[in-house]
């Protein structure tokens, strides 16, 4: 069974570098049986590589404004991403990327880390570094949703 960890974000924009930091940690000292891809700010460029792997599980990790306290971690239903108008710094909205991959991937899990400061040349905050470490530690024995809570989608009228 192949598991792919797709880390998304921009390491030059403070807390948006959560994904790339996780990829860096995993490449330095792998946790579990994950193929790690640092998607950076253009994860759509990795669609072909992910499709070729035909993973059973794709875990997509990104700093995501969910209106929570900095460093909070939630599992987001991929179907809710478009409805929630999630702001990202990426070229393509992540729901399009996920839609492209659904046919080739057994399970897609979107894990969001609530950023504090996202701006060019800002350092990553300690809350986000701690959240990345938490995700990193759970990768080795990942089951289901990794023990993370689901984000409760707000009601839209």
> Is 32 within 8 Å of 65 (Cβ atoms)?
no
pLDDT per residue as tens digits for the range 28-73: 999 999 999 999 999 999 999 999 999 999 999 999 989 999 999 9
> Is 6 within 8 Å of 51 (Cβ atoms)?
no
Backbone phi, psi, residue 106, to 5° = -65, -50
92 CB-contact burial (10 Å; exposed 0-12 / middle 13-18 / buried 19+): middle
> What top-level class would CATH report for the domain 3-139?
alpha beta
pTM: 0.91
More confident residue, 63 or 99: 63
Please report, for the chain, the start and end positions of each structural domain, with discontinuous segments joined by +. Answer: 3-139
């Amino acid at each position: 069974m192949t598991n792919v960890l797709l880390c998304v974000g921009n390491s030059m924009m403070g807390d948006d570098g959560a994904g790339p930091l996780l990829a860096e940690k995993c490449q330095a000292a792998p946790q579990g049986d994950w193929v790690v891809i640092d998607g950076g700010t253009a994860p759509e460029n990795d669609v072909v590589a992910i499709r070729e792997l035909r993973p059973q599980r794709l875990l997509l990790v990104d700093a995501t404004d969910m209106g929570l306290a900095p460093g909070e971690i939630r599992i987001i239903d991929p179907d809710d991403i478009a409805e929630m108008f999630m702001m990202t710094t990426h070229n393509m909205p992540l729901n399009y990327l996920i839609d492209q991959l659904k046919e080739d991937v057994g399970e897609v899990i979107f894990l969001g880390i609530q950023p504090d400061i996202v701006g060019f040349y800002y350092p990553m905050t300690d809350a986000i570094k701690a959240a990345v470490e938490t995700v990193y530690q759970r990768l080795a024995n990942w089951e289901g949703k990794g023990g993370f809570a689901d984000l409760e989608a707000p009601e839209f009228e």
